[in-house]
Structures are given as C-alpha cells and as structure tokens.
Amino acid sequence: MDQSIQFKAIWQAPIAIAYLDTDLKYIAYSAKWLSDYKLPQEDIIGKSHYEVFPEIGEEWKQKHQRILKYGNIESNPAELFVRSDGSHQWIKWAVRPTFNQNGEISGLVMSTEDITETLKLQSKVDREHQLLLDAADKAKIGTWEMNHITNELYWSMVTKKIHEVHKDFVPDIATGIDFYKPGVNQEIVSDLFARSYKTGERFEVELQIITAKGKERWVRSVMKAEIVDGKCIRQYGTFEDITDKVVSEKNYKLALRKFHDVFEASGVGMMVVDPIDLSITEVNPKICELLNYHSDHIKTSSLERFVLKADFPKLFNSVTDLLNNKIDGIELDIHLKKSTGRFVICSVIGTLIDDDQGNPIDLVIQVIDISGIKKKEEELRAFTKYVEQQNERLLNFAHIVSHNLRSHSSNFEVLLNLYHQETDVEDQNNIIKLLSSSSSQLAETISHLNDVVAVNTKKIELSPIYLKENIFKVMENISSQIKEYHINVDVEMDDDFTVAASPAYLESIILNLLTNSIRYRKKDVPGRITIKAYKHKGKSRIIFEDNGIGIDMKLNGHKIFGMYKTFHGNKDARGIGLYMTKNQVEAMGGTIRVESEKNVGTKFNITL
C-alpha cells in the first residue's frame, strides 16, 4: 500500500493510535491521538515519544524496551496518567510490537482510550448506588442481587435481618425460595423469578415467608433484571417487611366489615357523610324507612337538603366545631324532611372517623325519630300548664268565696245587732231595708260564683258557628246603646267565616267585649269598634279593637282578667265581665290577650 494512503487511513482512524519506530519516534498517528492528549495540531512525525510526552517516567520506558526486546504485548484496562501540567487522565491502553517483512521488530504500535469521563460517570453511579443502599437500610428496606455470571446471590444486612438469619449467612437461589411459605407463595415467587430472568420484566409482589426462627412474615419483594445481548446477567431488587401494615389492613377490613354489618342491621337510622361538603355517601335501610326515600336518592344528595332551613346553621356550626376539635361529638335535635314534605323532629348523634394520620374522612350520623317523645313532652307541658291554671283559679275562687261571703256575713251581723239595739220603729225599718239590700247583693254574689263554677265544671261542646252572623245578633241586642252613643262598629271578615265554639260562651264573650268598649268609650270623640277574624295555623284569630279610654297596663295590666277588678271608677262596674270572658275562652281551649294604652284604645286578641 502506498505510504501516503496508509498514513491517511491511520490519521482517520476513530481511535487514538500511534506507530513508532525502534527509537520511539513517530512514524504515523491518528487525529484522535492528538485530540485525546490535547497535543498541538502540528506534525510530530519523526519526533521522539518522550519529547512529545516529557512526563513519561522510567517505568513506562522500561515497558517499551521490554516490548521492543521480547515482542510481548502489554496492556492495562485503566491506568492513571499524570500529565506535566498536573492534569489527570485515566487511560485504557495496549502496546504491541510491529514487525518488518523479515519478521524482525520494527517498532511499536500504541492504542489508547481516554476513559476519564467513563470512570467519573461510573464513580457517580457507584456513589448513587451506595446512597440508595444506605437509604434502603435506613428505611429498613433490604436489597438483593443475583449475579448470573458468578452464580452468587447477595442479601443486604436488612434482608438477612428480615429473614432472621445470621449476618454471615450465604444464600443461594434454592434456599432463598425455600424461605417463602410452602404452597402458593413459593409457586408465585418461582414463576415471577423465572419470567423476570427470561423477559427482563419488573415485578412487585406481596407474599409470606417463614423466617429462620419459624415466624410468619409478610414481605414486599421487587425484582428487576438486567439483560445484555439477550441474556440475563443479573437480577436484583428490594425486600421489605410489611407484616405490621398487612395486619393493620386486615384489622381495618375486619372492623370495616363489622361496622358495615352493624350499619345495615341497625334499628337506628344511620348515614355516612363527608364532613367537608356534607354529601351523603352511605345510608342504612332504617334511615331510608324514616325519610321514605330510596337509598340511591339519599346518597346522591347533600345532608343540607333534608334539614329544616332554620335548623341547618346549628348543625353546620356543630360540624365545624367537631372538625376543629372543639367538641368530641354532635348531639342535636333537628327537623328532617320526609319525601311527603312533612318534617319529623329527630335526635342526631354525629361521630367523626379519622384515618391513620388523624385526618377526618367520614362523619357517621345516627338519627332517631323523637317526634312521638316531643309530642308527649308538649302534651305534658300543656297539661302541667292547665293544672297550674286550674290551681290558680281554684285558689282565686277560694279567696273570693272566703272574702266575699265573710264580708256579707259581717254586714249581716252588724245590721242585726243594730236592729236589736234600735228601739225606734222607723230606724228598725231602715235597717230591714239595708238587710234586704245586703241579701240581694249576697244572692248576686252567689249567682256570680255559680256562673264561675259552671264555666269550669260543665263539659263544653264545640260546634262550628258563623262568627259574623253571631256578632250581628249581639249587636242587635245592644242596638239601643250603639245608637245612643253613636258607636261605629266595623265587622271585617267573610260571611262564611266559622269558629269552633260553644254558642252560649261565644255570645257572652262578644257581648262582654262590645259592652266594655261602649262603657269605656271616650266622651269627646265618636266611638269606634273594629272586629276582625282570620285563620292562622288551623286556628281562628278574633280581634276586638276600640278607640276608648284604654287601660294603664303598667298599673293595672296584671289584674285585667281578675274577678271584681275595676279600673275606672264606674258605678255599674262589677269586675266580673272580663273574668268570665277569660274563663269562657279558656274553657273552649283558647287564649285571650290584651293590648292597651291609656287614651288610645284597647285591643283583645282571642285564639280559638
């Protein structure tokens, strides 16, 4: 081959290569030789190798001479080359002799590879690998590696600790698999190990082992494989003891199953609610029965939808306090809406469920219909109030009887003593007249007391009565008074407005209130009485309002409905009318209230 062509071929070689004669002078070299050793781009043909690399020491020179003398080949996969400028290069090199046509050594050929960056990268990988192993040890995650070239199995100290073997234990494939619990566990790990070896796939599996001390443990094993030229040269992975986690999960699932069984079979309405947005996630059959909805309908709704609007703020505030650990649980009485639109009052008990980290995940709510209990409580309160009123009436009645009869008795006694002491016939006749008058007053008192007794003891039969028609009937009876005092009476209600009442009592009430308004009218202004009636929550509300002289409520408000209570000094006032009116209203199961202002007027509100 032409030498110029040969030199050009060497110059273009992709590796660092140089040809030297027996005096170690360059006769050919590649461009990469210059670039790898950062040599100037100048012709070094004929220059001594030691002139180009003055840092070459005696050891290298002796190697060159041995090769030239004995024709042997020397090489090194990685050797540090310290340059004259102090820089370092890691070199993979080989030096071999060249021969002339006579078979005599004619020089050397050097081929080198700068592996500095490769070694740096390998060093980095090794450091990272060591850091990974250290991290795995700290995380109590063991490692393992099966080298298929040396047929050696390596276990880290954590892996040996998990298997409860001595630190000097030397595993192999057979003993490694034998640690797995016989049966399906050994079959699975053997199959995955074989598949990983064959395909290089990554597997992660949770299986049971039996340690050297005979303990059953749950482990998570991760295996990978390194395939080179279609052949698996190693398999490696991690090994983690997850026994505590598996046991915890089993206990959790067991508790969850027990809770679900209790949840479904509970005789109390129960629902599981998201504590953040109050969306309902689970319901049991009892709550569906209580609200009269299918479970699917409730589970697609928010709890807010079923709660009375007025009750929702206190429920929301309780949930907020529960999430902020201000309270341990929720205990409320709220109204829940059924499918019929009717509300039932329920006792609600809420308990927060946390996850392992203490984060709230569910709010379990128990719901008990207490409508019946509340109704009984209302009835008991009403009955207690009724008994208290009856006791008050009885006490008042006893006081009146005692006081009034004693007054009449004393009066009789005084008049009779005077009669016996008096000798003048005319004076005796006057005393007889006084006795007669006292007797009439006593009869009137007894009559009043009989009326009171009758109101409180007779069984009242209520029937629907056209109110407007009855008002006009009473007005007709007192038409002379209305006309004489120019009273304007407005009756504002429908003709067919009815009220459930005793006809006699209703007439008496209307009469008493109308005559009271006329009796206590203002003398200097035209009298006006307005009577209204309307229905409210299934009951009749009747309002009598006048523009009379009114009552000083601060002074006399507490005794308006008292027996024999008068306020304006009228001679014909007996103080029995409003007392009887109140008793008659209450005997029919109603109530009466009064609002009044002096010189403005009086308004009575009756509810039946």
SS (H, E, C) 339-370: CCCCEEEEEEEEEEEECCCCCEEEEEEEEEEC
The verdict on residue 562 lying in a domain is yes
The verdict on residue 443 lying in a domain is yes
Contact 67, 61 (CB under 8 A): no
- Asked if residue 392 and residue 364 are part of one domain, the reply reads no
**Residue whose token pair is 């954590």:** 158
Q: Please tell me the predicted confidence (pLDDT) of residue 343.
A: 92
- Asked if residue 165 and residue 239 are part of one domain, the reply reads yes
- Asked if residue 509 and residue 582 are part of one domain, the reply reads yes
Q: Please tell me the predicted confidence (pLDDT) of residue 292.
A: 92
- Asked if residue 435 and residue 516 are part of one domain, the reply reads no
Q: Please tell me the predicted confidence (pLDDT) of residue 573.
A: 52
Q: Please tell me the predicted confidence (pLDDT) of residue 258.
A: 87
- Asked if residue 470 and residue 585 are part of one domain, the reply reads yes
The verdict on residue 134 lying in a domain is no
Residue ranges in the chain whose pLDDT is less than 50: 1
Instruction: State the Cα–Cα distance between residues 39 and 53, nearest whole angstrom.
Output: 9
- Asked if residue 303 and residue 183 are part of one domain, the reply reads no
Q: Which of 341, 368, 395 is the last residue of a domain?
A: 368
- Asked if residue 481 and residue 557 are part of one domain, the reply reads yes
Q: Please tell me the predicted confidence (pLDDT) of residue 575.
A: 63
Instruction: State the Cα–Cα distance between residues 148 and 363, nearest whole angstrom.
Output: 55
What are the φ/ψ torsions at residue 231 (nearest 5 degrees)? -125, 135
Of 366, 324, 321, which is closest to residue 347 (Cα–Cα)? 366
Q: Strand (E) positions, 274-315?
A: 280-283
- Asked if residue 444 and residue 485 are part of one domain, the reply reads no
Instruction: State the Cα–Cα distance between residues 299 and 500, nearest whole angstrom.
Output: 46
Instruction: State the Cα–Cα distance between residues 285 and 288, nearest whole angstrom.
Output: 5
Q: Please tell me the predicted confidence (pLDDT) of residue 477.
A: 82
- Asked if residue 166 and residue 46 are part of one domain, the reply reads no
- Asked if residue 239 and residue 282 are part of one domain, the reply reads no
* The two three-digit tokens of residue 320, written as one number: 């907020």
The verdict on residue 439 lying in a domain is yes
Task: Give, as one character, the DSSP assignment of residue 5.
Answer: H
Instruction: State the Cα–Cα distance between residues 27 and 42, nearest whole angstrom.
Output: 14
Instruction: State the Cα–Cα distance between residues 214 and 212, nearest whole angstrom.
Output: 5
* The two three-digit tokens of residue 17, written as one number: 């290569």
The verdict on residue 132 lying in a domain is no
The verdict on residue 24 lying in a domain is yes
What is the sign of the dihedral through the CA atoms of 478, 485, 584 and 408?
A: negative
Instruction: State the Cα–Cα distance between residues 90 and 368, nearest whole angstrom.
Output: 83
Contact 153, 176 (CB under 8 A): yes
Number of separate domains in the chain: 5
Q: Please tell me the predicted confidence (pLDDT) of residue 1.
A: 47
State which residues form the domain around 282. 267-368
- Asked if residue 74 and residue 44 are part of one domain, the reply reads yes
Contact 375, 386 (CB under 8 A): no
DSSP letters for 99-133: E-TTS-EEEEEEEEEE-HHHHHHHHHHHHHHHHHH
Which amino acid is present at 497?
A: F
Angle at Cα 142 formed by Cα 138 and Cα 145, nearest 5°? Answer: 135
DSSP letters for 404-443: HHHHHHHHHHHHHHHHHH---HHHHHHHHHHHHHHHHHHH
The verdict on residue 224 lying in a domain is yes
- Asked if residue 412 and residue 473 are part of one domain, the reply reads no
Q: Please tell me the predicted confidence (pLDDT) of residue 570.
A: 57
Q: Strand (E) positions, 275-338?
A: 280-283, 330-337
Q: Please tell me the predicted confidence (pLDDT) of residue 505.
A: 85
Q: Please tell me the predicted confidence (pLDDT) of residue 211.
A: 95
The verdict on residue 163 lying in a domain is yes
CATH number at residue 9: 3.30.450.20
Q: Please tell me the predicted confidence (pLDDT) of residue 502.
A: 85
Of 581, 602, 579, which is closest to residue 590 (Cα–Cα)? 581
Of 503, 500, 505, 478, which is closest to residue 489 (Cα–Cα)? 478
Give the bridge partners for 240, in sequence order.
141, 220
User: Please, is 241 exposed, middle or buried when counting C-beta atoms within 10 Å of its C-beta (0-12, 13-18, 19+)?
Assistant: buried
Long-range contact list for 328-332, CB < 8 A, 24+ apart? 330/365
